[in-house]
Structure 1
Amino acid sequence: MTPELQLALETAERAGTLTLGFFNRKSLQVFSKRDATPVTEADRSAEALIRSAIASRFPQDGLLGEELEEKPSANRRRWIIDPIDGTRSFIHGVPLYGVMIALEEEGAMRIGVINFPALGQLFYAERGCGALMNGSAVSVSSIASIGEATVVFTEKEYLLDPPGDHPVDRLRLQAGLVRGWGDCYGHMMVASGRAEVAVDKIMSPWDCAAVIPVVTEAGGCCFDYRGDTVIDGEGLVSSNGALGSVLLETLRGRGVEPC
């Protein structure tokens, strides 16, 4: 295990333990950000812990987090942090929130760690080394029929927006099962073979960064609504390999290489 992955795992577990101290607390302080989304004292404390741990070990690396100011990189390496992905779930006592830490090198995602402290599940991956959950390998499903697929989503807009021709949006009418198990938990359901597609129409870099290495190392695909694997695109779709190839072919035109 590389020093970077070891640090990410240890820090995600420490931050997860910190968040559990606030979880289901009746006196939890909740604030409203400029974009009207909620943030809690747990979010801010967890991000501060993660930033401190990374900065003390890799002081030249950049830091980008959801809650605090970005620190520029001096070496083309950047850690991307979401201290609590699924803050609304956290506020309501739903245990499907995750602590997310990712490492980007030369513009590509190298490491992704997602800790679900209230579930006792720790997903992680490093490029070229496979994906694991609590030390055991995970992989996407082999389901190739959309009619047999489970599709999970986060935002209500995925169901409420008027029907369109986008192939990802059409899944809600074609899939065998559609459920709102969202945020990073939905994407990890894909990585572990418990769902075939996870859809987020609204995403920021810290929402995507840790997801991409885990899903791709598990044999799946991650891409935005344009078919690009980026952390700053239009939403994020995670899929198993079979259905992902079909979706990408539809998005990009025939001849796309299977993912």
Structure 2
Amino acid sequence: MTEFEAFAVELSRIAAGVALPFFRAEFQQVNKASGGAFDPVTEADRAAERAIRDRIKAVYPHHGIIGEEYGEENATAEHVWILDPIDGTRAFISGLPTWTTLVSLRHQGQPVIGAIGQPYIGEIFLGGPSGARLIHRDGERPLKTRACKAVPEALSATTDPGIFQGPDREAWDRVQAAVRLARFGCDAYAYAMVADGRLDLVVESELKVWDWSALMPVVTAAGGAFTGWDGQPPSAADGRVVAVGDPDMIAPVLALLHPR
């Protein structure tokens, strides 16, 4: 494990230590959306991000930080940590153990390390230069995606079909009709299951840079592929992503998303 990979694990554990006491307990929550939508943020989100920001500044003061709750600091630095202290806040406030803590390191503009932590279960899915591994209470083991080239054989996931709007919803409907099984409501945990060879495909839109940056290194280090809907690396400006366990599935999935 490299120095920065170990630090990503440390940050994931710090966030877990802050967030876990709030889970299935009483805490304040605020709806940060407008117009009748519901986009909650909790005391746990904010406290966890403050804690990991403080640790980054103490250890790597010249590194940049981008976080969901407290924005950007030195975001053009060579090394930038990208943080989502609780991804899946709706699951968190509902008492469902599918929320995660997301920590990523971006080097020269590209995510190179990702950690997907599920504190209640006690798991950290880590991807980076030294490979992909699941760190859990009893030790650790390698992560490896599984072979699945045919879309009709795929087990797929998305957080909620309601996130897709207009043509994007039509695209998702084509994917859902083509796969063997579609599961909903897993948020970032679905990508961990792709890396662990349990799911084959995740398709999503409307993601922010802190939503997907940690996922990409975990999936790719485990042998999968992670792209935008256009087949290019995802960007902060376009939150539509595809993750597959078998890279050979990218082409047929993109064909479903953009039929000729």
TM-score normalised according to structure 1 size: 0.89
1:136 maps to: 141
1:202 maps to: 206
User: Contact conserved, 1:204 with 1:231, CA < 8 A, in 2?
Assistant: no
TM-score normalised according to structure 2 size: 0.88
Q: Within 2, Cα distance between the matches of 1:34 and 1:159?
A: 17
User: Contact conserved, 2:113 with 2:126, CA < 8 A, in 1?
Assistant: yes
Structure-to-structure mapping, 1:159-198, within 5 angstroms: 166=171, 169-198=173-202
Q: Within 2, Cα distance between the matches of 1:164 and 1:231?
A: 20
Counterpart AA for 2:132: A
Structure-to-structure mapping, 1:34-73, within 5 angstroms: 34=33, 36-73=38-75
Runs of 4+ in 1 over 6 A off after TM superposition: 162-165, 249-253
2:31 maps to: 32
Structure-to-structure mapping, 1:233-252, within 5 angstroms: 233-240=238-245, 241-248=247-254
Residue 30 and residue 197 in structure 1: after superposition, are their counterparts in 2 closer, same or farther (change >3 A)?
same
User: Contact conserved, 1:12 with 1:101, CA < 8 A, in 2?
Assistant: yes
Counterpart AA for 2:190: G
Counterpart AA for 1:16: A
Q: Give the drift of 1:34.
A: 4.5
User: Contact conserved, 1:158 with 1:169, CA < 8 A, in 2?
Assistant: no
User: Contact conserved, 2:229 with 2:254, CA < 8 A, in 1?
Assistant: no
Q: Give the drift of 1:22.
A: 0.2
Task: Report Cα offsets for 1:31-74 as digits up to 9, x if no partner.
Answer: 12155511000000000011011111110111000000310146
1:22 maps to: 22
2:160 maps to: 155
Q: How many residues align?
A: 250
SS of corresponding position for 1:118: coil
SS of corresponding position for 1:88: helix
Q: Within 1, Cα distance between the matches of 2:167 and 2:179?
A: 17
Of 141, 146, 150, 1:145 maps to 150
SS of corresponding position for 2:90: helix
Unaligned runs of 5+ in 2: none
Q: Give the drift of 1:165.
A: 6.5
Unaligned runs of 5+ in 1: 254-259
Q: Within 2, Cα distance between the matches of 1:239 and 1:24?
A: 32
Of 105, 108, 123, 1:106 maps to 108
Residue 245 and residue 73 in structure 1: after superposition, are their counterparts in 2 closer, same or farther (change >3 A)?
same
